């Protein structure tokens, strides 16, 4: 790990204890500038662009292999820094990251343009050979959050490298450790100098400098909608390309005919997974009124049974929130809900006074105008509402400035299809939730973002299309 030019460091905390875990470089504008210049030189003049697609793919694959070999180490770092259970990091975060890198390694040799039969009305006698090339967009700035630190790093780095870009990654200040270790593996693979640059630091300084930098061709951001809008403004300087994966307030619908043995644990996991710190958390639960009491009782029972503890304890199912800031944000939302008339069937309180633990919370007596129903809480707090008519349900589900994901629990195939089509959301899960795959695009409608992560869509977003038109007769 290098030092910041200023020599300053920032502290990263163990969210289970509130104690300092480590000090890392506090990069700022000067470090971002140096990193951007390195990435620019590597893109414009380095050996990276001269590698074959296959060679590029093998390097990404090798990074996946190294990550897999160090899976337990990465899961441990992630659990300590973010607070999530070690078993979850080992079963989900790290394997998903490995798989995504392998998926993206495969794309390097499949980034193709088209041959296009053009007619050109004003040159009737001429003949052309016209085709498109997909070229890397260039130097990419990537700013990521703290909820899935390693996975978000890889979601960003993987497609950028597959497309042949060079990049500067700024991890979240709360959780820089796995990105730093990933940087060491990247060095071990032997990517050419300047291709991947990792700068730890704060958003307002390092992050903003990256979004503003005139030598950056594209910025890819995951985080709050508020900062997403700042990124868009910052990008206007040189009109760098922008992709955004932002917040959510995802509706999760349990229909009259749902299999409650599946829907109840499913809806509980949709909100409590990763302590609710998921952009796609199923945080607005809509249950047909005939099943409402049964579902609420079921989810509340699940919530009461969840073992909340530090990430490193083997039995832990739910760890602390990531930071003191996040703890006070979530507590503030719960209090606001209660003041507005919501009722906590279970949960609603902080646990202990050491670390940032909050009880899994189920709020009822909520309605569409409440702050807890409209705004992203990003904690283990679900708001539940009964519905009667399907039309009214669709309007309520879509009544949000967000549109990231939605869940539907039903055994009626026709209703599943029609409701999936009616949801203004980038991902719809039916009889499942939080199912992610490297091949499946993920991203938002409305204020949940621009563009898609994963799938070939993510690779496309790191390319420019060049049309080449050659006169042949």
Chain residues 373-392 in contact with ligand NAI, contact rule CB under 6 A: 376, 378
Least CB distance to ligand NAI at residue 276 (A): 10
Of residues 134, 141, 162, 136, the one with CA closest to residue 64: 162
Task: Using CB under 6 A, pick the residue from 137, 165, 172, 179 that binds ligand NAI.
Answer: 172
Q: Which of 46, 183, 223, 407 binds ligand NAI (CB under 6 A)?
A: 223
Nearest CA to 32 among 213, 262, 235? Answer: 213
Q: How many CB atoms lie within 10 A of CB 44?
A: 14
Number of residues that bind ligand NAI (CB under 6 A): 26
Q: Is 245 a catalytic residue?
A: yes
Task: Compute the distance between CA of residue 255 and CA of residue 140 in angstroms, rounded to an integer.
Answer: 44
Which of 133, 230, 260, 306 is close enough to bind ligand NAI by CB under 6 A?
230
Of residues 247, 244, 278, the one with CA closest to residue 147: 278
| 143 sits near ligand NAI (criterion: CB under 6 A) | yes
Q: Is 224 in the site for ligand NAI (CB under 6 A)?
A: yes
The SS3 assignment for 19 reads strand
User: What is the pattern of x (binds ligand NAI, CB under 6 A) and - over residues 279-318?
Assistant: x---------------------------------------
With CA atoms as reference, report the closest residue to 345 among 392, 385, 393: 385
- 162 lies in the binding site for ligand NAI (CB under 6 A): no
x/- contact string, 233-272, with ligand NAI (CB under 6 A)?
Answer: ------------xxx-------------------------
**What is the C-alpha to C-alpha distance for residues 145 and 153, in angstroms, rounded to an integer?**
9
What is the chain's percent helix, strand, coil content, to nearest 5?
40, 20, 35
Catalytic residue among 279, 359, 447, 453: 279
Give whichever of 182 and 246 is closer to ligand NAI, judged by the CB atom.
246
> Which of 12, 82, 147, 166 contacts ligand NAI by CB under 6 A?
147
Around Cβ 117, how many Cβ atoms within 10 Å? Answer: 8
Task: Tell me the C-alpha distance between 164 and 432, whole Å.
Answer: 35
Binding mask 320-339 for ligand NAI (x = CB under 6 A): ---------x----------
Q: Where are the beta strands (DSSP E) in 166-226?
A: 166-170, 196-198, 218-222
User: How near is the Cβ of 70 to ligand NAI at its closest, in Å?
Assistant: 23
Nearer to ligand NAI, 37 or 329 (CB): 329
In the sheet that holds 381-387, the strands lie side by side as 343-346, 361-364, 381-387, 284-288, 251-254, 405-409, 427-430
Instruction: Give catalytic residue positions.
Output: 245, 279
Q: Which residues sit at the interface with ligand NAI, rule CB under 6 A?
A: 143-145, 147, 170, 172-173, 202-204, 207-208, 211, 222-224, 227, 230-231, 245-247, 279, 329, 376, 378
């Amino acid at each position: 790990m290098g030092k910041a030019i200023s020599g300053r460091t920032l502290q990263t905390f163990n969210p289970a204890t509130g104690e300092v875990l480590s000090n890392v470089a506090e990069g700022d504008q000067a470090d971002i500038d140096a990193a951007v210049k390195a990435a620019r030189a590597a893109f414009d003049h380095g050996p990276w662009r001269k590698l074959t697609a296959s060679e590029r793919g093998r390097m990404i694959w090798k990074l996946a292999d190294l990550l897999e070999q160090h899976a337990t180490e990465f899961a441990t770092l992630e659990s300590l820094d973010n607070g999530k259970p070690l078993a979850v990091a080992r079963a989900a975060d790290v394997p998903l990251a490995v798989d995504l890198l392998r998926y993206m390694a495969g794309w390097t040799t499949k980034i193709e343009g088209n041959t296009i039969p053009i007619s050109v009305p004003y040159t009737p006698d001429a003949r052309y050979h016209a085709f498109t090339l997909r070229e890397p967009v260039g130097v990419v700035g990537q700013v990521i959050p703290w909820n899935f630190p390693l996975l978000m790093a890889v979601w960003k780095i993987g497609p950028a490298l597959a497309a042949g870009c060079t990049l500067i990654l700024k991890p979240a200040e709360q959780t820089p450790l796995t990105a730093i270790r990933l940087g060491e593996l990247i060095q071990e693979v032997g990517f050419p100098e300047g291709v991947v640059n990792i700068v730890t630091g704060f958003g307002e300084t390092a992050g903003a400098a990256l979004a503003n930098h005139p030598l950056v061709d594209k910025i890819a951001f995951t985080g709050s909608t508020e900062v997403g809008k700042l990124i868009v403004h910052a990008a206007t300087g040189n009109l760098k390309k922008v992709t955004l994966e932002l917040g959510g307030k995802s509706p999760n619908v349990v229909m009259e005919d749902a299999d409650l043995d599946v829907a109840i644990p499913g809806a509980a996991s949709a909100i409590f997974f990763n302590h609710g710190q998921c952009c796609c958390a199923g945080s607005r639960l809509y249950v047909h009124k005939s099943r409402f009491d049964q579902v609420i009782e079921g989810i509340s029972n699940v919530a009461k049974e969840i073992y909340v503890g530090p990430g490193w304890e083997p039995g832990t199912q739910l760890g602390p929130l990531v930071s003191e800031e996040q703890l006070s944000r979530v507590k503030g939302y719960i209090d606001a809900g209660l003041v507005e008339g919501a009722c906590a069937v279970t949960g609603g309180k902080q646990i202990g006074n050491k670390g940032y633990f909050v009880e899994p919370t189920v709020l009822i007596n909520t309605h569409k105008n409440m702050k807890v129903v409209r705004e992203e809480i990003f904690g283990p707090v679900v708001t539940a509402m009964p519905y009667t008519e399907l039309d009214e349900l669709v309007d309520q589900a879509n009544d949000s400035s967000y549109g990231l994901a939605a869940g539907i629990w039903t055994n009626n195939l026709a209703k599943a299809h029609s409701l999936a089509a009616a949801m203004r959301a980038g991902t719809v899960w039916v009889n499942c939730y939080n199912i992610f795959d490297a091949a499946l695009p993920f991203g938002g409608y409305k204020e949940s973002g621009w563009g898609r992560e994963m799938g070939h869509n993510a690779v496309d977003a790191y390319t420019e299309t060049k049309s080449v038109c050659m006169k042949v007769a």
